[in-house]
Structure 1
Amino acid sequence: MHKRSRYGWLLAAALIAALLAGCGGGSKEAAKVKVGEVTRSLFYAPLYVALSQGFFADEGLQVDLQTTAGGDKTMTALLSGGIDIALVGSETSIYVYQQGADDPVINFAQLTQTDGTFLVAREKKESFDWDDLRGSVFLGQRKGGMPQMAGEFTLRKHGIDPHEDLELIQNVDFANIPAAFASGTGEYVQLFEPQASIFEKEGKGYVLASFGVESGRLPYTVFMAKRSYIEKNKEIVQRFTNAVTKAQRWVEDHPAGEIADAVLEFFQGTDRDIAVRVIERYKAQQSYAVGGVIDEEEWNNLLDIMEQAGEITERTPREAIVDNTFAEQALR
Structure 2
Amino acid sequence: MKHLKISSKLLVVLAVSLSLFLSACTASEKENKRDQIRIAEVTRSIFYAPQYVAIEKGYFKQAGIDIDLKTTWGGDKTMTALLSNGADIALVGSETSIYVNSQGTNDPILNFAQLTETDGTFLVSRKSLKNFSWSQLKGKTFLGQRKGGMPQMAGEYSLKKHGIDPHKDVTLLQNIDFANIANAFASGTGDFVQLFEPQASMFEQKGIGHVVASFGKESGKLPYTSYMAKESFLKSHGDVLQRYTKALYKAQQFVESHSAEETAKLIAPYFEDTSVTLIEKVVQRYKEQHSYAKTPLLQEEAWNNLQRIMKSAKELDHPAPYKQYVNTTFAQNAIK
More off after superposition, 303-312 vs 222-231: 222-231
Residue 194 of structure 2: aligned partner: 190
Which runs of 4 or more aligned residues in structure 1 lie more than 2 Å from their structure 2 counterparts after TM superposition?
6-22, 24-30
Aligned match of 2:95: 91
Match of 1:292 in 2: 296
- What secondary structure is seen at the aligned counterpart in 1 of 2:40? strand
Q: Alignment partner for residue 301 of structure 1, among 291, 298, 305? A: 305
Name the amino acid aligned to 2:206: E
Residue of structure 2 equivalent to 1:53: 57
1:311 Cα deviation after fit: 0.3
User: How many angstroms does 1:273 deviate by?
Assistant: 1.4
Tell me which residue corresponds to 1:181: 185
Question: Is it true that 1:239 corresponds to 2:243 in the alignment?
Answer: yes
Distance (whole Å) between structure 1 residues aligned to residue 14 and residue 69 of structure 2: 48
Aligned-pair CA distance for 1:133 = 0.3
Q: Return the alpha-carbon distance in structure 2 between the equivalents of residues 251 and 16 of structure 1.
A: 44
Q: Name the residue aligned to 2:44.
A: 40
Cα distance between partner residues in 1 of 2:331 and 2:273: 34
Q: Does 1:131 align with 2:131?
A: no
User: Which of residues 273, 277, 284 is equivalent to 2:277?
Assistant: 273
In structure 2, the partner of 1:158 is 162
1:48 Cα offset (Å)? 0.6
Q: CA deviation at 1:203?
A: 0.7
Q: Contact 1:69–1:175 (CA<8 Å) still a contact in 2?
A: no
Q: Take 1:201 and 1:44, find their aligned partners in 2: how far apart are those partners?
A: 22
**What is residue 221 of structure 1 aligned with on the other side?**
225
1-structure distance, mates of 2:103, 2:204:
41
CA displacement at 1:29 relative to structure 2: 3.7
Counterpart of 2:172?
168
Residue 294 of structure 1, CA deviation: 1.0
Q: 1:15/1:317 Cα in 2 relative to 1: closer, same or farther (>3 Å)? A: same
**Secondary structure of 1:93's aligned partner:** helix
Q: Identity, % of aligned pairs? A: 53
Q: Which amino acid in structure 2 is aligned with residue 287 of structure 1?
A: S
Please, which moves more after superposition, 67-76 or 148-157? 67-76
**1:60-75 to 2 correspondence within 5 Å?**
60-75=64-79
CA-based RMSD of the aligned residues comes to 2.0
Alpha-carbon offset, residue 79 of structure 1: 1.1
Displacement of 1:21: 3.6
Deviations 1:180-207 (A, max 9, x none): 2112221101111011001110111110
CA displacement 1:221-261 (0-9 Å, x = unmatched) = 00001112222211221122111111101111110000000
Deviating more after overlay: 70-79 vs 290-299: 70-79
Question: For 2:275 and 2:151, how far apart are their aligned partners in 1?
Answer: 25
User: What is the DSSP-based 3-state SS (H/G/I as helix, E as strand, rest coil) of the residue aligned with 2:55?
Assistant: helix
Q: Secondary structure at the match of 2:32?
A: coil
Computing the radius of gyration from Cα coordinates, the structure with the larger value is 2
Which amino acid letter does the alignment assign opposite residue 278 of structure 1?
V
State the Cα distance separating 1:295 from its structure 2 match.
Answer: 1.1
Structure-2 separation of matches of 1:71 and 1:26: 37
Displacement of 1:20 in angstroms is: 5.9
Q: Distance in 2 between matches of 1:209 and 1:103?
A: 40
Looking at structure 2, the residues matched to 21 and 118 of structure 1 have their Cα atoms a distance apart, in angstroms, of 54
One-letter amino acid of the structure 2 residue matched with residue 102 of structure 1: N
Corresponding residue pairs, total: 330
Q: Secondary structure at the match of 2:118?
A: coil
Q: Distance in 2 between matches of 1:106 and 1:84?
A: 12
1:149 to partner: Cα distance: 0.4
Return the alpha-carbon distance in structure 2 between the equivalents of residues 10 and 330 of structure 1.
46
Residue type of the partner of 1:116? G
SS of aligned partner of 1:152: helix
* CA apart distance, 1:269: 1.7
Residues in 1 aligned to 2:249 and 2:234: alpha-carbon distance in whole angstroms: 18
Deviation of the 1:14 alpha carbon: 5.1
Query: Partners in 2 of 1:249 and 1:11 — Cα distance?
Result: 50
Give the 5 Å matches for 1:79-118: 79-118=83-122
1:203 aligns with 2:207: yes
